[in-house]
Chains A and B, each alone.
Chain A
Amino acid sequence: MSDEFLYRLREPPRPEFAAALRERVFQAPSRLSKDRLFRIGLAIGLTIAVTACAIPKTRAPLSQMAARVLTGLSDAYAVSLPPPPLESCQFLTAGRVLPSQLSSEPITVSEGSSTSPIVTGFWTTIRAYDLRVAYWTGIEPHYGAFFQGAYGRDQHYLGPGGDTSTCGSSAGCIWYWNWWGNWQSVLLVPKGGWLWTEPPGGPRWQPANYQATLWIG
């Protein structure tokens, strides 16, 4: 059966539109470039700091400055801050380097403590521990992948086909799926085009196939 007639609607985009869009798209600021700039800046800063500490002449003023910072902290009392964006730098305010999977803030400083700030939480990448109905609207179930922690983000599907296989779902690719609940620790899993196209027990029904980065406090 000929379907040639259906191709007749095809047309090239207007050249002015194509040119204008090309310019707009490729001149948009690049997040990757910003990341790279941040890393370069951080490396330069660290090099300067290490060099300054190694030179006796500059070591003394630096020690005084550090002491002032620590003295300031000694007057602090307990503070509670929301978790920072994961992209934030990986250092404590007092200058201690944390393991790479930990973020710098928030920290809580106990009243009267002067030198040992306590880390109250960290970001880490974990897998879901359950996949079940999160809530109902009337008779309609809404499924979710349950994670330990809060503020879920950067979700990935580890089953066959990886993230790309999620793109056919009714909610689009996995990075569009919504987090749910007060703690945002339940990743709502679309049903149409995703869960219900696979029999229960298949890879899409395995909680361990859902991975995300969450704040463990």
Chain B
Amino acid sequence: MPVFRTFGDDGGRSGVDWEAVYDEYLPRVYNYFRYLVGSQAVAEDLTAAVFEKAWRRRDRYRADRGVLSTWLFALAKNVARDHFRRDHHREVPLEWAGEMADPEPVEEVVAEREERARLGALLARLPPRERELVALKYGAGLTNREIARLTGLSETNVGTILHRVVQRLREQWEEEP
């Protein structure tokens, strides 16, 4: 039985319900990595590293100094950076299809799987910075303002780059059935 420490474990200083944070942010952090690295197994490992770090360092988070999502995704960015530095590659493996394996897939499942594989392949071709912005926007569900805070780009710049990337991806998406 897990022992949940919510509120008060940091003396109530941050006023954060860490259990609720886990519930809310787990899917977002996980999908950030899923968009960034592709592989489900790697995404799970990196997600685990983020939450373990966040829990160890929770006394450093100050609610009055910044948004929790910025703090958490800054940790996630660092974990990703360390991962790529270690592995010296940024290729997104085309695992979107295989990992959803089903012994007897029905037609819709097959179609969905193919769609995901195609999208995964399109993302894999993006330059690292653009892929990161896409992962933060569509994987993590961050706003342009939050992305700007994290990346050091201006909010307008984030919007412009994303618009361009999405346009290109959309063209490719429609070109290659």
Contacts and interface: CB of A to CB of B under 8 A. Distances in A.
A6 B120 CA distance: 10
Contacts of A162: 62, 65-66
Given A26-B19, A28-B56, A163 B70 contact: no
Interface string B133-172: 0100011000000000111100000000001001101100
Contact of B47 (A2, A21, A170): A21
A6 B170 CA distance: 9
Nearest to A170: B152
Contact of B116 (A8, A168, A173): A8
B27 to A, nearest CB: 6
B27 A13 contact: yes
B48 A32 contact: no
**Interface size, B (range):** 35 or more
B119 A5 contact: yes
Contacts of A17: 44
B48 A30 contact: no
Given A1-B167, A13-B30, A164 B52 contact: no
A3 B170 CA distance: 8
Nearest to B43: A13
A87 interface: no
Interface in A11-46: 11-14, 17-18, 21-28, 30-33
A18 B30 CA distance: 10
Interface in B38-66: 40, 44, 47-48, 51-52, 55-57, 59-60, 62, 65-66
Q: Per DSSP, are chain B's interface residues mostly helix, strand or loop, or mixed?
A: helix
A39 to B, nearest CB: 11
A122 to B, nearest CB: 24
B110 interface: no
Given A6-B134, A8-B119, A175 B60 contact: yes
Given A8-B119, A164-B66, A167-B74, A26 B170 contact: no
A11 B33 CA distance: 12
A9 B34 contact: yes
Query: 4 tightest CB-CB pairs across the interface, nearest first?
Result: A164-B66, A193-B152, A167-B74, A172-B78
10 contacts: A3-B138, A5-B173, A8-B116, A10-B138, A14-B44, A25-B51, A33-B9, A168-B149, A173-B74, A173-B75
Interface of A: 1-3, 5-14, 17-18, 21-28, 30-33, 161-165, 167-170, 172-173, 175-176, 192-194, 197
